[in-house]
Amino acid sequence: MHHSKKHAFEPKIVAFVCTWCTYAGADLAGTSRLQYPANVRVLKFPCTGRIDPVFILRAFQKGADGVLVSGCHPGDCHYMAGNLHARRRFAAFRTLIEFVGVDLDRLEFSWVSAAEGGKWVEVVTELTNRILTMGPLEEFKALEAEECWSGKLDTPELQEAYNNI
């Protein structure tokens, strides 16, 4: 269930979702006032078919400890078959991500429909708790530190902004 804030490690979870099913399902969780861990950041796409596996790699590289990809159930795709293309793509991609050295338990694929606010909460909570026990993804963070990175996360302005919170 909902865990309290007092963890030494707060996992960073990124969710790549389609706008028609899972985004709407997450909206429904909100209108139903369901509660779930605040670790997830949602990125909206028209369709899971649009989600390039490179995005997942990039998310891990940029500090995500867990990634969720979720869209419409098979047969329910707003664009007829985008989710099926995504499924095939990610079936092949799993092998690659494992080869790169990311534990497959950090990556979750699910179908959450616009009517499944409860399922969205379950999926997010389950993944967050799992990552919590797994700990941070250190391997990629080390790599990221070595790289001359282009992200603006470490600008003085931002640091100040965060310090104000």
Partner 1 sequence: MSRIGVFICHCGENISRTVDVERVAAAARKLPGVAFAIDYKYMCSDPGQGLVKKVVVEQRLDGVVVAACSPRMHEKTFRNAVKSAGLNPFLCEMANIREHCSWVHEDREEATAKALDIVRLMVERVKKNKALQPITVPITKRSLVIGGGIAGIQAALDIADCGHQVVLVEREPSIGGHMAQLSETFPTLDCSQCIMTPKMVDVANHPNIRLYTYAEVESVDGYIGNFSITIRKKARSVIEEKCTGCGICSTKCPQKKIKSEFDCNLGSRPAIYVPFPQAVPNTPVIDRANCTWFKSGKCGVCAKVCGPGAIDYNQEDELVVEPVGAIVVATGFDLYDIGPKPADSPIDGYGEFGYGTIPDVIDGMTFERLASASGPTGGKIIRPSDGKEPKQVVFIQCVGSRAREKGISYCSKICCMYTAKHTMLYHHKVHDGQAYVFFMDARTPGKNYDEFWRRAVEEEEAVYIRGMVSRLYQKGDKVVVMGSDVLVGVQVEIEADLVVLATAVQARSGADTLAQKLGISYDKYTFYSEAHAKLKPVECATAGIYLAGACQGPKDIPDAVSQASAAAAKVMTLFARDQLEREPIVARVNERTCVACFYCKKVCPYGAVEEKEIRDRQGNLIRVVAYVNPGVCGGCGTCQATCPSKSVELDGYTDEQVMAMIDAL
Any contact of residue 33 with partner 1 (CB under 8 A)? yes
Q: Could you give the C-alpha distances from 98 to 49, 94, 103, in angstroms and in order?
A: 21, 6, 6
Q: How far is the CB of 146 from partner 1 (least distance, A)?
A: 17
Any contact of residue 42 with partner 1 (CB under 8 A)? yes
Any contact of residue 147 with partner 1 (CB under 8 A)? no
Report the interhelical angle of 117-134 vs 22-31 (nearest 10°).
100
Any contact of residue 138 with partner 1 (CB under 8 A)? no
**Binder to partner 1 among 92, 99, 150, 154 (CB under 8 A)?**
150
Cα–Cα distance, 48 to 142 (Å, whole number): 29
Residue ranges in 52-81 that form contacts with partner 1 under rule CB under 8 A: 52-53, 55, 58-59, 62-64, 78-81
How does DSSP assign 100-156, residue by residue? HT--GGGEEEEE--TT-HHHHHHHHHHHHHHHHHH---HHHHHHHHHS-----TT-H
60 by DSSP, 3-state: which? helix
Q: Which CB, 85 or 130, lies closer to partner 1?
A: 85
**What is the binding site for partner 1 (CB under 8 A)?**
2, 4-5, 12, 14, 19, 23-24, 26-27, 29-31, 33-36, 38, 41-47, 49-53, 55, 58-59, 62-64, 78-82, 85-86, 89, 121, 150-153, 155, 157-158, 160-162, 164-165
